[in-house]
Structure 1
Amino acid sequence: MRLTTLFYTLFFSAASLAQINPIDFEPATGVGGDWTWTVFENDDNPPLEIVVNPFIEGINTSQTVAKFTARVTGAPFAGCETMHGSDIGTFTLSPENAFVSIMVYKTVISDVGIKFATPEGASTGEIKIANSVVNQWERLVFDFTGVIDAPSSTGIDQLIVFPDFQTRSTENVIYFDNIVFGDSSLSVDEPGSVIKVTAIPNPSAALTKIECGEVINSLEVYNLMGQKVFEAAPEAMSYWLDLGRFNSGVYIARILGDAASSSVRIVKY
């Protein structure tokens, strides 16, 4: 009896120190759909909705997804969060779980942010990544390995998602799904892995040099409305992009290699 009691004590102690993974909103076998999601800084704060996937295609054939409606008058950092002490579990960031991916479906190009918090309110700080395509599902991968040793990486029990981190001129509906914790292999996605890419100088008023870890077969530039404004086929590992052809603002450059892709945010003065 004492051994049985010890086993259950150790089992549930270990379980309480692990995050629930994945978060997929499926009603029968999944998790996340019945969690206490609180919407914040979004004007009248319409609740997060768990809905039938309206776009069962591409990389996401899940039946159920989360729907976030970003109000025009909501703050740029409007988002939703799980409940402290419940839902996601309690865990510490480590090399085994510090890469986090999320699938998003958006009609505009804007940052998606993710951060974690402890019961005391310590935060990892949000990491933001812009989607590079619109009107289709895309998986974004967030790298939290840089904060593994920070005090805020221990005893995490809350997930915060910022689906549309920007100042808005329209109301935007964002769908998200399949939040997965894992190692760096998560960065591998169709059609291949993510290319390491830089743009220097950035911001710039004239030229910015895009450099990649492999040959750039295709370079596409999108504005924040998801409209393609430029494309080229450099067939080289670097490319000088002339920003003089663009209006001042923020753009997303999408780079395609032989079996990999990546994107980088570019600011034109």
Structure 2
Amino acid sequence: MKNLKYITSLIVAALIFSCSTENDLIDLDTLSAPTNISALTTVTQDNTGKVTFLPRGEGVTQYIIYYGDGTTDPAYVNPGGTVDHIYKEGIYTARIIGTTVNGKTTEQKQQVEVSFKSPENLVVTIENDLAVSKKVNVKASADYALFYDVYFGEAGVSAPVSANNGEIASYTYANAGVYTIRVVSKSAAIKTTEFTKVFTVTVVNKPFTSAPTPPNRQATDVISIYGSKYTNVAGTNFFPDWGQAGQGSSWAEFDLNGDKMLNYIKLSYQGVALADGTTIDVSGMEYLHMDVWTADLEKIETSLISKTNGEKPVVKSLTANQWTSIDIPVSAFTSQGLTVADIFQLKFVGTPWAGGSVFIDNIYFYKTPAALIELPIDFESTTLTYSWSGFGSSSYGAIPASVVTNPDKSGINVSNKVVKIEKPSGAQVWAGASLDLDSKIDFSKGTKVKVAVWSPKVGATILFKTEVSTSPKDGNGNPTVFVEVQGTTTVANTWEIITFDLTTASSFSAANSYDRVILFPDFNVGGTGTSYYFDDIKQSN
């Protein structure tokens, strides 16, 4: 009988798929295995040991439950359904298996404790969610308990939220305020154990993560007003106030673990004023970008203000409790008749008026680049600026690294421009130089990197490194997602090609967004006052 149930489910699913049109046919082999498999297990408080399973998961056609108490036949449950089982007192390991229409499965084991003792040693934590306003997370655990109910105390809401013992139950209130939260911990016993607390539900009023990191751009393709990625227009006043203090409006520079951002409080209207006599011509730019975070504003109105003919606004909606990235076409201002060749102020207006606060970061104008620093790189472009950053001098500062005229136009490399990395006397064994790319490396073009190298000696180790510049930083401030491969020079004072096979490094993944190239000449050897030259960094298979 159990096999018939399973086969019937597959037939029904197959019939559903067969009703699709020819153009809508689904390749079942491409369907992934189910994810997030679990089950809410509840027990009746009547000393019978009756446990109800409510299986949960994503991408599931049918659940199979093995009770773990020696029962031979499993239960088959459709999504959204439940099944009951009578246990004797004890602790069991149930198996919840989610299946897809193509037969793929995912299994999750779950402990089921059936005790006719009432829960003991109940421990409850109640916390406001750090990311979502008015959301409260409750976690309760007790000896002998199987699950618990939470009554969050909001008027008109009588049904509890249930969770397995030791797991989290969450609830989002309509309004912030003070509520009485009651937790009822339950076992198979008739008697339950309760905990009650008067709790203040709050609004999240500041970001807990940084705004998205802007992409690498050429200096000619961006005019930055505020942010740490690009060079900002000097002397800007970020709180001219314009008489808004009377509205209760104010300003601060918020510091989130070293990442600074503008914070306009009770925003009526505030803004940015360039230094006296300073204007910027943004007619050659295509967009104004800003990243905005708010807990309580619905919209932000942004105006560019021209010395010639006043100001024009553009309104954008905001999503609460997360960063909203805004890109406004410059044409949205010029189409209203605004002259954008002499912008000297930007103005921000909140909706509702003086009713909430915003955090703003990465204010800049930009345009689509005419050319990008991306692999392959030959340093011959007359429009790109190859900004190599050297590091590892004897004082841990920068070592010289720059694009120069090819000092040895012979052999395999007769190009005009190359990059020179010096390793002065006393430089660290790990001295080198890095170059930010304007786009991530596309590994469909190959996972090997070839570099033309000119070394003053045979046997010098050349370390090639590429990293994801936006990945979390280690204790020294270096990105933690990277790949390193070494090569060795075989000739001196002449050009040769060294190949770095990235797949030989265990940390390599083609899915990572590597966007920085780093070269370490004569790696693991201290500086002796020599220079190394590199050119034609390109991919191959």
Give the TM-score band, short-chain normalised: 0.5 to 0.7
Assess if the C-alpha contact under 8 Å between 1:19 and 1:90 holds in 2: no
Q: Which residue of 2 aligns with 1:70?
A: 423
Q: Which residue of 2 aligns with 1:171?
A: 529
Q: Which residue of 1 aligns with 2:518?
A: 160
Check 1:58–1:150 CA distance in 2 against 1; reply closer, same or farther (3 A cut). closer
Moved over 4 A (4+): 147-153
SS of structure 2 residue aligned to 1:103: strand
Equivalent-residue separation in structure 1 for 2:406 and 2:416 (angstroms): 5
Count of matched residue positions in the alignment of Structure 1 and Structure 2: 160
Equivalent-residue separation in structure 2 for 1:101 and 1:160 (angstroms): 13
For residue 82 of structure 1, report the CA deviation from its aligned partner. 1.8
For residue 147 of structure 1, report the CA deviation from its aligned partner. 4.6
SS of structure 2 residue aligned to 1:82: strand
Does the alignment pair 1:38 with 2:389?
yes
Q: Which residue of 2 aligns with 1:116?
A: 466
Equivalent-residue separation in structure 2 for 1:91 and 1:21 (angstroms): 7
Assess if the C-alpha contact under 8 Å between 1:102 and 1:179 holds in 2: yes
The one-letter amino acid of 1:114's match is: F
Q: Which residue of 2 aligns with 1:134?
A: 492
Q: Which residue of 2 aligns with 1:91?
A: 441
Give a deviation string over 1:12-61, Cα, whole Å, max 9, x none: xxx9xx982211111438x6xx1222111123423312111110000001
> How many percent of aligned residue pairs carry the same amino acid?
27
Equivalent-residue separation in structure 1 for 2:522 and 2:461 (angstroms): 6
Equivalent-residue separation in structure 2 for 1:127 and 1:175 (angstroms): 18
Does the alignment pair 1:182 with 2:182?
no
Give a deviation string over 1:231-260, Cα, whole Å, max 9, x none: xxxxxxxxxxxxxxxxxxxxxxxxxxxxxx
Q: Which residue of 2 aligns with 1:23?
A: 377
Assess if the C-alpha contact under 8 Å between 1:98 and 1:148 holds in 2: no
Q: Compare 157-166 and 144-153 and name the one that shifted more.
A: 144-153
Assess if the C-alpha contact under 8 Å between 2:487 and 2:498 holds in 1: yes
Equivalent-residue separation in structure 2 for 1:113 and 1:97 (angstroms): 19
Equivalent-residue separation in structure 2 for 1:149 and 1:170 (angstroms): 31
Assess if the C-alpha contact under 8 Å between 1:93 and 1:154 holds in 2: no
Check 1:131–1:91 CA distance in 2 against 1; reply closer, same or farther (3 A cut). same
The one-letter amino acid of 2:433's match is: C
SS of structure 2 residue aligned to 1:125: strand
Equivalent-residue separation in structure 2 for 1:149 and 1:77 (angstroms): 20
TM-score, normalised by the number of residues in structure 2: 0.28
Assess if the C-alpha contact under 8 Å between 1:88 and 1:159 holds in 2: no
Equivalent-residue separation in structure 1 for 2:393 and 2:539 (angstroms): 27
The one-letter amino acid of 1:133's match is: V
SS of structure 1 residue aligned to 2:504: helix
Q: Please, which of 382, 398, 406 is the counterpart of residue 53 of structure 1?
A: 406
Give a deviation string over 1:46-88, Cα, whole Å, max 9, x none: 33121111100000010111111102211111111123xxx34
Equivalent-residue separation in structure 2 for 1:77 and 1:149 (angstroms): 20
Equivalent-residue separation in structure 2 for 1:112 and 1:153 (angstroms): 25
SS of structure 1 residue aligned to 2:521: strand
Check 1:152–1:136 CA distance in 2 against 1; reply closer, same or farther (3 A cut). same
For the aligned residue pairs, the C-alpha RMSD in angstroms reads: 2.6
Check 1:169–1:76 CA distance in 2 against 1; reply closer, same or farther (3 A cut). closer
SS of structure 1 residue aligned to 2:522: strand
Q: Which runs of 5+ in 2 are unaligned?
A: 1-368, 472-478
For residue 158 of structure 1, report the CA deviation from its aligned partner. 1.1
Equivalent-residue separation in structure 2 for 1:170 and 1:177 (angstroms): 22
Check 1:25–1:92 CA distance in 2 against 1; reply closer, same or farther (3 A cut). closer
Higher relative contact order (CA 8 A, sep 6+): 1
Equivalent-residue separation in structure 2 for 1:100 and 1:150 (angstroms): 13
Assess if the C-alpha contact under 8 Å between 2:427 and 2:527 holds in 1: no
